[in-house]
Structure 1
Amino acid sequence: MNKITKYKVALMHVAPVFLDTSKTIDKVCNLIDEAAKSGAKLIVFPETFVPAFPIWSALRAPIYNHKWFKLLAAQTIQINGPEIKRVAEYAKKNSVFVSLGINESANQSVGCIWNSNVLLSSDGNLINHHRKLVPTFWEKLVWANGDGAGLRVCDTEIGRIGALICGENFNPLARFSMIAQGEQVHISTYPPVWPAYDPKESSLWSVADGIKIRAGAHALEAKVFNLACAAYMDKTMLDMLADGDKEAARILLDSPRGVSLIMDPMGRVISEIMQDSEGILYSEIDLSLCVEAKQLHDLSGYYNRFDIFQLKVNRTSNCPAIFIDGDSTYDNIDTEGRREEQE
């Protein structure tokens, strides 16, 4: 495999077509075309970009959010569905890698939703599928726990690429599982806004500061390029979420926004920082910088004590049941948590 060490990346600090999967996929494909024409080789979309991040769970008591859950469930996609196939076609057409956040469903349940990230290769193949390990705080009202099947770093012609979703970047063991696989490019994805408190009662919480701290820590510890991509909240999204409620609108307007930025292996910001405007964030990266940085601290190599510290990672997929029919044997679980029949 011929390795490309210097190339352009594109982070999509943009808004989905809120709760409309078909139109959001249209936007994804158009943005892939645009970024590819600008020379990008790796294109990153935010957390659960297709078709929405469930911010409504932070605004109202659960008993008032049933309609939102049903709307989202109706717009989820499956990993082998036509939406992913279409995005894969655009990745192949443009010879680019694409990281995309989705709300995922599967055949086991009409009401189970995962916060998932997929990585598509430049030849249109799905090379990784990760479900967020643990939904954070009020996210638990919408998403199910994921599993470790997608805790993988993919060895590609543009480097060794890993990804964690939002609060997973707080988890030192999840991050070390990426480091231990020789990660060079780390993708970290975030929502457009994340109310943790009523903004009139607390000014201590900053989503932007949290993203910068986490991105810098992993870039510096892993000696990787960290591509931190947050979504953008447009007026349509805000109005739909507020749903005529002035208090909900106030919280959304005053709560801290997410930011998008790119850091190098020494934890330095090498791009502009996008927060209050919608757009595409571009930057050139050079993977050779990861090598020199490893001379200082190589946590997957010499700068560790594997005789003292050991990490075990279970990468099997969760599966609700095992079914054995007739003479068929089932000994493999795919990344959707389903059994595959083996001849």
Structure 2
Amino acid sequence: MSHQPSSTVRVAVTQFEPAWLDLPKAVEKTCRLIREAAENGAKLVSFPECWIPGYPAWIWYVREYSCPSSISKNSLQADSAEMRRICQSAADHHIAVVLGFSENFKGSLYISQAIINAEGSIEVLRRKLKATHMERTMFGDASGSALQNVVELPDVGRVGTLACWEHTQPLLKYHTYHQRETIHVAAWPPLYEHDGGPGLYSMSKEGIATLRTASGVTMNTPGGGSSAIFGPDGRLVADGLPETEEGFIYAELQLDDILKAKGFLDVCGHYSRPDLLWLGVDKKEKTHVV
């Protein structure tokens, strides 16, 4: 008798302050939140862009201060004891994890994401296809493996992820759609509704003090949490907490709603014209020496 996946999945979205530029504390907090989400019945928990070791807000304005050595030393290596501890936490509590982190690979930094299954194995390890604007002063670009961003997870479904302004790239989004996502994790740094002024992003008092952004034109006031969960038709399923508060957002996702949405509009199915328009993809990882 074949196993029929559940039509309902409980998920958790984090709205918490990072452990700024402190890798050991960041790993400890990550594992604690993984445990808490699992204890509250979630099968999947997601973390924002550069959750470890916190988004480097100072890059968005020019001044004499920066902490490249601090973020480099406290960024997470994919093959490390710290990553193995996070994976073990996922396994111990039998919960899938989507983790955003600054990746240190041989001294260079990348905005990376990992999808870890409930047995503690990394199913997806990808980098942001193109670092955004001022992020390019610190982070490198990805290669072909970044396109492998969706995976089947038992008891959850097909989970995929993109980071921040990757969501503005139509071809990348179409390629993601075409991998038949059940759940999409859109990872962003702290972002709040625009107030009409010059500000874009914000964070906590501790983050402002640690990154010294108080005198900057952006990310200079407390706040900025805006986590939420949306259904396949764009409807808000679970609203966020107040922007200055930490906490989880939980939702019971009704997976059959996907069938309703696709029955109405399926841009990779009945509402597509591959005889006229199609996407070419090169998934090959490019290396420095051939």
TM score, norm. by length of structure 2: 0.91
Residue in 2 that maps onto 1:40: 42
1:236 is displaced (CA, Å) by: 1.3
Contact 1:116 1:131 in 2 (8 A): yes
2:35–2:93 CA contact under 8 A, matched in 1: yes
Counterparts of 1:109-124 in structure 2, within 5 Å, are: 110=107, 112-124=108-120
| Amino acid of the structure 2 residue aligned with 1:235 | K
User: How do residues 96-245 of structure 1 correspond to structure 2 at under 5 angstroms?
Assistant: 96-107=95-106, 110=107, 112-152=108-148, 153-157=150-154, 158-193=156-191, 203=197, 233-242=203-212
CA distance in 1 between partners of 2:29 and 2:215 (Å): 31
Q: Distance in 2 between matches of 1:148 and 1:263?
A: 29
Percent identity (aligned): 27
- Quote the offset at 1:257 in angstroms: 2.7
Q: Distance in 2 between matches of 1:204 and 1:69?
A: 26
Point out the structure with the larger helix share: 1
> Letter of the aligned partner of 1:154 in structure 2?
V
Please say if residues 190 and 258 of structure 1, whose CA atoms lie closer than 8 Å, have aligned partners that are also in contact. Answer: no
Cα deviation per residue 1:252-272 (whole Å; 9 max; x = unaligned)? 345983511100011000102
Following TM superposition, the consecutive aligned residue runs of length 4 or more in structure 1 with deviations greater than 4 angstroms are 204-207
Compute the RMSD of aligned alpha carbons: 2.3
Distance 2:142 2:265 in 1: 31
Shift of 1:101: 0.7
* Alignment check: 8 A CA contact 2:9 2:253 kept: yes
C-alpha separation in 2, matches of 1:166 and 1:258:
14
Residue 104 of structure 1: CA displacement? 0.8
2: CA distance between counterparts of 1:69 and 1:294? 45
SS at the partner of 1:295?
helix
Match of 1:295 in 2: 263
Q: Does 1:280 align with 2:277?
A: no
CA distance in 1 between partners of 2:16 and 2:34 (Å): 12
Q: Is the 8 A contact 2:204 2:223 kept in 1?
A: no
Whether the 8 Å contact between 2:8 and 2:253 is mirrored in structure 1 is yes
Name which of structure 1's ranges 169-178 and 313-322 shifts more when overlaid on structure 2.
313-322
- Larger Rg belongs to: 1
Give the CA deviation at 1:315.
1.5
Gaps of 5+ in 2: none
The amino acid of 2:81's aligned partner reads P
Instruction: Give the residue type in structure 2 aligned to 1:273.
Output: G
Instruction: Tell me the TM-score normalized by structure 1.
Output: 0.78
Q: Could you tell me whether the CA contact under 8 Å between 1:117 and 1:131 is conserved in 2?
A: yes
1:300-319 equivalence runs, <5 A: 300-319=268-287
Choose from 11, 14, 17 the match for 2:13.
11
Contact 1:14 1:279 in 2 (8 A): yes
Check the 8 A contact 1:9/1:41 in 2, yes or no: yes
From the superposition, tell whether residues 255 and 36 of structure 1 become closer, same or farther in structure 2 (CA, over 3 Å). Answer: closer
